[in-house]
């Protein structure tokens, strides 16, 4: 239990308990009739005991059970301890285990039958005083048990909320890990294909001694360009293990495949508007990321806003980056939330070196992504031998 005086709340509770016990003793004690053989001296002693009982309540947080036992036993001798007894039994019921509360209840109600027998032939007011005392003790115990159960319930709800939050974070982290693994699987074959081409053309330079200086310079430039592109691809798969057998080894989609993707959506009944100006040679990793972002966004729109018009706009260039915007009207009463699909999009954009935001803008849900497009990264020119080689499948390049 917390030590006394640790906080202002504890001080206020202690003060309220002392005031209640003192007031209860001051109001109830003088109204009790003493037998004729007991004089004023006895009343003074009882008042002193009542005052000491009120002062002993300062120990109710440190030794609640022992304090309640002592006060209950002394309460059978003097009625000036009724207030301290009520506070003590309430403290045990509210803050201690149920076993201790049961012992306190047994000690409190053990004298009930002797009291009833003793006062059976007494005046009705004496019997009423005894019954009121036991009723007050029972009420204090019941109130304490209610406070304890309420505190435990709130603690349980807080624990459940923390567990739910931790579970949501774990699911989000798993979604990000799955996105990383999916990206790594997509990149693995492309990276291996590019590295095999580097080895192929480096070997050709080594054994083609009759090549002119222009041919050597041109081939060296192509090798350097592909080395830079391979490094860009490698950054996306570092730290992620490739999946086992059965991984799809088909050529990966790129930005040029967006019209085909939109055509498939339209054939399925989607109302898609695509704006993709002439972009030039987009780096392969950027094109793959852009394609997957648009693909997942269209899937989300079809799932959560079926039948609505979707606008897809792609713009940018070397040195300026590639900007992607996908927007669709929100159906009435739609509740937006960040699902695993959006988490995967954010993770994909981040691994590509860019960023992505998604959320409602008025009555429109909008996904905005920006991917890097460095000027130095360029694909082999169309028509070159290297470009023709890159059209080969990964198995052929190996």
pLDDT single digits (tens) 109-124:
877 767 666 665 655 6
Same domain, yes or no: 199 and 122: no
335 and 212 in a common domain? no
322 or 131: whose pLDDT is higher?
322
Average pLDDT, the chain: 74
What's CA 284's distance to the chain center, in Å?
36
Domain identity same for 224 and 312? no
Highest mean pLDDT among 55-69, 250-264, 353-367: 353-367
Is 339's pLDDT higher than 80?
no
Is 181 part of a structural domain of the chain?
yes
Q: CA 57 to CA 278: how far, in whole Å? A: 84
Q: What's the pLDDT tens digit per position in 166-202?
A: 888 788 777 777 776 776 666 665 666 667 667 767 7
For the segment 280-299, what is each residue's pLDDT rounded down to a tens digit? 678 877 888 888 899 888 88
Q: Give the pLDDT confidence of 80-119 residue by residue, as tens digits.
A: 777 788 888 888 888 888 888 888 888 888 777 676 666 6
Does any domain span residue 301? yes
Q: Are residues 276 and 224 in the same domain?
A: no
Q: Per-residue pLDDT averaged across 3-32, rounded?
A: 67
Which of 140, 162, 184 is a domain's end point? 162
Judgement on whether residues 33 and 157 belong to the same structural domain of the protein: yes
Q: What is the pLDDT of residues 348-377, one digit of tens each?
A: 888 788 999 988 888 899 999 999 988 754
- Does a structural domain hold residue 212? yes
Instruction: Tell me whether residue 376 is in a domain.
Output: no
- d(Cα 241, Cα 254) in Å, to the nearest integer? 23
Q: How confident is the model at residue 312 (pLDDT cuts 50, 70, 90)?
A: very high
Given this model, what pLDDT does residue 323 score?
93
Same domain, 158 and 15: yes
Write down the pLDDT at residue 370. Answer: 93
SS3 369: strand
Given the structure tokens 């192929």, which residue do they identify? 200
Structural domain boundaries enclosing 201: 176-248+381-397
Percent of the chain with pLDDT over 90: 5
- Summarised one tens digit per residue, pLDDT across range 198-254 is 776 777 777 777 777 787 777 777 777 777 777 766 766 665 544 444 444 445 678
Phi, psi of 102 (to 5 degrees): -65, -40
The reported pLDDT for the residue numbered 368 is: 94
The count of domains in the chain is: 3
Residue 170 falls inside a structural domain: no
The better pLDDT of the pair 33, 265 is held by 265
The pLDDT of residue 280: 67
* CA 201 from centroid of its chain's CA atoms: 51
In this model, does residue 337 exceed pLDDT 70?
A: no
Phi, psi of 235 (to 5 degrees): -60, -25
CA dihedral 362, 367, 372, 373 (to 10 degrees): -100
Q: Is-contact 284 369, C-beta < 8 A?
A: no
Residues 241, 107: one domain? no
User: For residue 4, is pLDDT > 50?
Assistant: no
Burial 221-233 (b: 16+ CB within 10 A, else e): ebbebbeebbebb
Q: Indicate the residue among 115, 134, 162 that finishes a domain.
A: 162
Cβ contact 148:319 at 8 Å: no
Q: Are residues 280 and 154 in the same domain?
A: no
Q: What pLDDT does 185 receive?
A: 66
- Percentage of the chain exceeding pLDDT 70: 69
Number of helices and strands in the chain (H, E): 13, 5
């Amino acid at each position: 239990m917390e030590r006394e005086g640790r906080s202002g709340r504890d001080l206020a509770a202690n003060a309220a308990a002392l005031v209640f016990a003192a007031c209860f003793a001051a109001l109830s004690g003088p109204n009790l009739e003493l037998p004729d053989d007991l004089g004023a001296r006895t009343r003074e002693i009882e008042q002193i005991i009542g005052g000491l009982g009120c002062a002993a309540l300062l120990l109710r947080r440190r030794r609640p059970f022992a304090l309640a036992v002592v006060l209950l036993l002394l309460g059978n001798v003097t009625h000036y301890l009724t207030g301290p007894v009520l506070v003590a039994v309430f403290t045990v019921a509210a803050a201690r285990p149920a076993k201790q509360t049961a012992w306190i209840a047994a000690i409190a109600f053990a004298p009930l039958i002797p009291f009833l027998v003793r006062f059976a032939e007494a005046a009705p007011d004496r019997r009423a005083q005894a019954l009121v005392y036991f009723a007050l003790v029972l009420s204090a115990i019941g109130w304490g048990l209610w406070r304890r159960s309420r505190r435990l319930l709130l603690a349980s709800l807080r624990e459940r909320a923390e567990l739910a939050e931790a579970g949501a974070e774990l699911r989000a982290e798993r979604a990000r890990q799955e996105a990383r693994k999916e990206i790594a699987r997509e990149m693995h074959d492309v990276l291996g294909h590019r590295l095999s081409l580097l080895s192929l053309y480096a070997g050709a330079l080594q054994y083609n001694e009759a090549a002119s200086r222009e041919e050597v310079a041109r081939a060296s430039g192509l090798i350097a360009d592909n080395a830079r592109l391979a490094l860009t691809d490698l950054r996306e798969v570092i730290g992620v293990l490739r999946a086992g057998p059965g991984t799809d080894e088909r050529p990966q989609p790129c930005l040029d495949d967006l019209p085909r993707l939109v055509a498939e959506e339209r054939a399925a009944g989607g109302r898609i508007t695509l704006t993709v100006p002439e972009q030039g040679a987009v780096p392969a990793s950027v094109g793959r990321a852009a394609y997957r972002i648009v693909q997942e966004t269209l899937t989300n729109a079809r799932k959560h806003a079926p039948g609505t018009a979707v606008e897809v706009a792609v713009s940018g260039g070397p040195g300026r980056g590639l900007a992607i915007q996908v927007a669709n009207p929100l159906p009435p009463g739609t509740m937006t939330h960040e699902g695993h699909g959006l988490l995967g999009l954010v993770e994909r954009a981040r691994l590509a070196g860019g960023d992505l935001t998604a959320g409602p803008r008025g009555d429109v849900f909008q996904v905005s992504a920006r991917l890097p497009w460095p000027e130095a990264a360029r694909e082999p020119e169309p028509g070159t031998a290297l470009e023709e080689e890159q059209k080969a499948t990964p198995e052929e390049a190996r």
